Amino acid sequence: MIIWTMAPWHKHCAPDVLSVDLSHDRPYLRPMAILPILEVPDPRLKTISTPVETFDADLKTLVDDMTETMYAAPGIGLAAIQVGVPKRLLVIDLQEEEGAGDEPVRNPRVFVNPEILDPSDEHSLYNEGCLSVPDQYAEVERPAQIRARWQDLDGKVHEETMTGLMATCLQHEMDHLEGILFIDHLSRLKRQMVLKKIEKARKMGGGHVHNEHCRH
């Protein structure tokens, strides 16, 4: 099975990265923000997100911050509600290619108001993890192929048939837009076991779930 996100859950480990703020008459460089990621059992994660209706500089700024937060975590997908913004917006970067020095090539994809049009009858099983469910993984069954429709940052509509990890990742992130976590696909017993493990780890770590990626 493939663990599609191997993420430490410390959100303040990356340096500031500069982006261009176009919301003023004279653009200037501003540091991208590393946003705090909501973790279970935060009730905001159960919010059903609303459609994005305004495609402006503020939306682009939010996407920049979400993308940098995803990389800093690190993870391969992040929905807006995970940083406390209940909008139908998500970013994904599988980072499957390698560049100089075997570093992953960054190629973030932005999905605004995504929809699944035609899920296949065939299903696949992946061992999933989530930045909002610290250091926990479980097998989840989802359609192996989907036809997706979404808008980009300019409001243009796109459609694409997706399979494999991309199909799984998009479905996982779209679940967040409905207030659903991957652990909600598990039995009640397994879900409670995961939550108890997280609570125990927090108590031992002073409120933070430690792992090998932490710098303290």
Give whole-number Cα distances, 103 to 53, 99, 100, 106, 194, in Å: 36, 5, 6, 9, 32
Predicted pLDDT at 1:
33
Predicted pLDDT at 4:
43
**Residue 3, in any domain of the structure:** no
Select which of 39, 68, 128, 173 is catalytic.
173
DSSP label of 173? H
216 residues of the chain, pLDDT tens digit each: 333 433 332 333 333 444 444 444 444 556 789 999 999 999 999 999 999 999 999 999 999 999 999 999 999 999 999 999 999 999 999 987 556 567 778 999 999 999 999 999 999 999 999 999 999 999 999 999 999 999 999 999 999 999 999 999 999 999 999 999 999 999 999 999 999 999 999 888 755 554 444 433
**Residue 174, in any domain of the structure:** yes
In DSSP notation, 195-211 reads HHHHHHHHHHTTTS---
199 as an active site residue: the answer is no
- What is d(CA 144, CA 16) in angstroms, rounded to the nearest whole number? 37
**Residue 168, in any domain of the structure:** yes
Q: Are 172 and 143 in contact (CB under 8 A)?
A: no
- Listed residue (7, 46, 25, 42) closest to 212, CA to CA: 7
Q: Which domain holds residue 175?
A: 18-204
Which amino acid is it at 67?
T
Predicted pLDDT at 30:
65
Annotated binding-site ranges for Fe cation: 130, 172, 176
- What is d(CA 88, CA 203) in angstroms, rounded to the nearest whole number? 33
Name the pTM for this structure: 0.81
CATH code: domain of residue 189: 3.90.45.10
**Residue 195, in any domain of the structure:** yes
Q: Are 107 and 134 in contact (CB under 8 A)?
A: no
**Residue 5, in any domain of the structure:** no
Q: Helix, strand, or coil here: 111?
A: strand
**Residue 7, in any domain of the structure:** no
**Residue 143, in any domain of the structure:** yes
**How many domains in the chain?**
1
**Residue 145, in any domain of the structure:** yes
- What is d(CA 177, CA 168) in angstroms, rounded to the nearest whole number? 15
